Structure 1
Amino acid sequence: MTPPAPLHTAAAEAPVGITADAWVESGSELCVSFALVPRPGSAAQARRLAKAQLLGWDIGEDARDAAALVVSELVTNAIVHTASHRIVCELCTSPGTLRIAVRDDGYGSGVPRPAQDGPDADDEHGRGLLLVEAVSCAWGVRDEGPGAGLTVWAELRA
């Protein structure tokens, strides 16, 4: 699977804070992005913003719920595993497909990947990317280059 195009320039240059940003209409694809300050509560806010946007796009409830889970997990990973100052979340929809991309500043300890053997039953963490993998058609990681961050993306059926 070919990774999606990079986050739109307007999203990449968005000021820090939770702000709805760029609407891009390219052919039959609609995209919106928002920037987040990585702090407790940002994942919940990203989930609420994503669900509201997807409702506005008339995306079905099952796809909205799956997307909210993916957004929450990817934003949480960016908060917990990087020293980012800003996280950008982008949602794009085209007929039958919903793409979610979360970019951090890339100050983490490596490329995100699901736990090989899965987390222990008592672990509170370690299931995020396994959940993303389970609800997505495809997902991946794109290194944006030195100092430019990492983008983790997932595609779902809309």
Structure 2
Amino acid sequence: MHSPFPQRPRRLSLLPMPSAEFAMAFASTPRGARLARLFVAHCLDSWGHPHTGRVNETLTLITAELCANAVQHGRVPGRDFHVRLAVEADGARLRLEVSDTRAERRPAVATSSDTAPESESGRGLLLVTALADDWGVSDRHGGPGKTVWAVVRSAPDLREPRVCCP
């Protein structure tokens, strides 16, 4: 049957739409951690923090480290990890939360002297400490596990202003 109204193509997007919050569950795998990092970078870009800007680069790196830790140290077979990115109420800071279901394995900040120079791991939380304005660990709301969170100031990035076309 032919419709008298022209059919518009349906546009399906799996990428987050601009809003004040982004939250999603990811498989507790290295691929899930990569996808979480990419989604956070895209979300920040859609909120006006370009991929090459300070805020996006900082939070994307923090996301990569916290998600890698969730996959490596917080994984429970069959359970996803969750990522939440939100603009805080005052609008001046962004809060990233990565939750997993292993409550007994809480991260602790090591000093650079605790990690052997030839070691290929063990520096993730040192990076988070250096990059975030604040970070910590809390009990996971609504379920077993923990939430590792980090906060970064979201001042406009003047390094690479966006160019708008008329």
Q: Could you state the TM-score of these two structures normalised by the residue count of structure 1?
A: 0.76
Q: Does 1:63 align with 2:58?
A: no
Shift of 1:47: 1.0
Q: Does 1:131 align with 2:127?
A: yes
Q: Does 1:50 align with 2:40?
A: yes
Shift of 1:155: 0.2
The match for 2:118 among 119, 122, 144 is 122
Aligned counterparts of 2:110 and 2:39: Cα–Cα separation in 1: 28
Shift of 1:21: 7.8
1:17-36 → structure 2 map (5 Å cutoff): 30-36=20-26
Q: CA RMSD in A?
A: 2.3
Q: Could you state the TM-score of these two structures normalised by the residue count of structure 2?
A: 0.72
Q: Which runs of 4+ in 1 moved over 4 A?
A: 19-23
Provide closer, same or farther for how the CA distance between residues 48 and 144 of structure 1 changes in structure 2, counting only shifts above 3 A.
closer
Aligned to 1:37: 27
Based on CA coordinates, which of the two structures has the bigger radius of gyration?
Answer: 2
Provide closer, same or farther for how the CA distance between residues 22 and 103 of structure 1 changes in structure 2, counting only shifts above 3 A.
farther
Q: Does 1:82 align with 2:82?
A: no
Amino acid at match of 1:138: D
Shift of 1:44: 1.5
Cα deviation 1:132-157 (Å, max 9, x = unaligned):
01000100000238961100000001
**Aligned 8 A contact 1:106 1:147 in 2:** no
Aligned to 2:108: 113
Aligned counterparts of 2:17 and 2:23: Cα–Cα separation in 1: 6
Structure with greater proportional strand content: 1
- Number of matched residues? 134
SS for the counterpart of 2:30 is: coil
Aligned to 1:141: 137
Aligned counterparts of 2:35 and 2:142: Cα–Cα separation in 1: 29
* Structure 1, gaps ≥5 residues long: 1-18
Aligned counterparts of 1:38 and 1:22: Cα–Cα separation in 2: 24
Amino acid at match of 2:31: G
Provide closer, same or farther for how the CA distance between residues 103 and 22 of structure 1 changes in structure 2, counting only shifts above 3 A.
farther
Provide closer, same or farther for how the CA distance between residues 144 and 46 of structure 1 changes in structure 2, counting only shifts above 3 A.
closer
* Structure 2, gaps ≥5 residues long: 1-13, 155-166
Amino acid at match of 2:34: A
Identity %: 30
